[in-house]
Amino acid sequence: MADETLPENRLTPLQVFRFHVNFKKAILNQPVGGDVSLCSGAFAECTGLEATMEPKAIKAGGVNYGAAQRAGPVTFATVVLKRGMTSTRDLWAWFQMAAGGAYAYRLNVEIEMRNTNDEAILTWGLDRAMPVKFKAADLNAKGTEIGIEELHLVHEGLRLISVNGA
């Protein structure tokens, strides 16, 4: 029986234009419920799925040919979600709770990359996300384009969640 897994150089690259965003309630990185209906529209753009590790150089005495490199702290980029502006104000309400000093619950965010059959192929998880910036659409009486709103999220961890046991 032939091995069903293909070598990396024969796999088809994933397309990035089909994705879905889910928000889930979380307490200390543990899901405590199902999806939260935070917004009714799909997002058109998601940027900032990024983690950076700052290496630490260790200079040992008597070793003159460079320093040893060790793993340092990891930081995460701000994730920016953009979508067409609608009449729902759920994203604004979540941001306003956090900015106004009221208790604003953290949410785990799952961003699913989907194939042409609309099946989840790859899922990125953001742990304990919190909104730090909300940007409404720019208003222009001469314009004809659709208004785009943005939600900027900081989070405490980036995970790659396995899909279908993969």
Band of residue 37 on the pLDDT scale cut at 50, 70, 90: low
Q: Output the pLDDT for position 57.
A: 92
Fold (topology level) of 16-50+67-161:
Pnp Oxidase; Chain A (2.30.110)
| Sign of the torsion angle spanned by Cα atoms 39, 114, 50, 155 | positive
Q: What is the mean pLDDT of residues 34-49?
A: 74
Q: Is residue 2's pLDDT more than 60?
A: no
Strands 120-135, 148-154: pairing is antiparallel
Q: Output the pLDDT for position 32.
A: 53
List, for residues 45-70, the tens digit of each pLDDT value: 999 999 999 999 998 888 888 888 99
pTM above 0.75, yes or no: yes
List, for residues 138-166, the tens digit of each pLDDT value: 888 988 888 889 999 999 999 999 766 45
User: Quick one: tokens of 64?
Assistant: 């003159």
Q: Output the pLDDT for position 81.
A: 93
List, for residues 91-141, the tens digit of each pLDDT value: 888 888 888 877 767 888 889 888 888 888 889 999 989 999 999 988 889
User: How far is 113 from 84, CA to CA, in rounded Å?
Assistant: 19
Supply φ then ψ for residue 110, to 5 degrees.
Answer: -120, 125
DSSP state of 28: T
Q: Output the pLDDT for position 4.
A: 61
Q: Is residue 27's pLDDT more than 70?
A: no
Q: Output the pLDDT for position 1.
A: 44
- Burial label for 92, CB within 10 Å (0-12, 13-18, 19+), is middle
Q: Is residue 16's pLDDT more than 80?
A: no
Band of residue 84 on the pLDDT scale cut at 50, 70, 90: confident
| Torsion (CA) 116, 43, 127, 99 in degrees, nearest 10 | 180
